Homo-oligomer: A and B are copies of this chain.
Amino acid sequence: MVVVKPCENPEDNPRVKAVFDDIRATRKSDFINNVWHYLAIDEALLERTWSEVKEVMATPSDLDPFTKELIYLAVSIINNCEYCVHSHSAAARAKGMTQAQYAEVLKIVSLAAKTNHLCNAMQIPVDPEFQVTDE
C-alpha cells in the first residue's frame, strides 16, 4: 500500500524527462525502475538523488563498481529497506554477483551485526592502538 501516488505521465515534465533520459543513457537500458517514478513527485528531489547516485555509483573512482554495489546492498539490509534490498541485489547480480558471493555478503553482514551488538552491550573501550595519529 503506497503512501504517495507516482505521477501518471512524469515525462510530460521536462525536468523529469531530462533525468529519465540520463538514467536510460547512463544505464544503456530503457527500464526506469519504480523509485525514480516516485521521486518524480518533486523534481528537485529527483534531480539531486539521481545526480548523487550517478556521481557516487556510476563514476570511475578509487573503489571498483562491484565493491561499491556490495557496500550499498549491505547498508540496505541493515536499514531494512525492502525495496533497496531487491533493487541492489538485482544490481549486484547484474554486475556479476554469484549466489555464493551473496551468501558471503550475508555472512559478513550478520556476523558484523552480531559483534556490533556484543561491543555495544559491553561498552568496550576503544584500544589506543586504533587511534588515528600524526606520524
Q: Which of B38, B100, B125 contacts A122 (CB 8 A)?
A: B38
List, in ascending order, chain B residues with CB within 8 A of A116's CB. 75-76, 79, 81, 84, 113
List, in ascending order, chain B residues with CB within 8 A of A125's CB. 2, 34, 83
Least CB distance from A100 to B in Å reads: 5
Number of copies: 6
List, in ascending order, chain B residues with CB within 8 A of A82's CB. 119-120, 123, 126
Count of interface residues, chain A, beta-carbon cutoff 8 Å: 84
Contact B86 A130, beta carbon cutoff 8 Å: yes
Given A4-B132, A130-B86, A38 contacting B110 (CB threshold 8 A): no
Contact B117 A63, beta carbon cutoff 8 Å: no
Decide yes or no whether A28 CB sits under 8 A from chain B.
no
Q: Within the assembled complex, what's the spacing in Å between the Cα atoms of A4 and B1?
A: 21
List, in ascending order, chain B residues with CB within 8 A of A9's CB. none
Contact B86 A117, beta carbon cutoff 8 Å: no
List, in ascending order, chain B residues with CB within 8 A of A26's CB. none
Contact A117 B123, beta carbon cutoff 8 Å: no
Contact A111 B4, beta carbon cutoff 8 Å: no
List, in ascending order, chain B residues with CB within 8 A of A89's CB. 3, 130
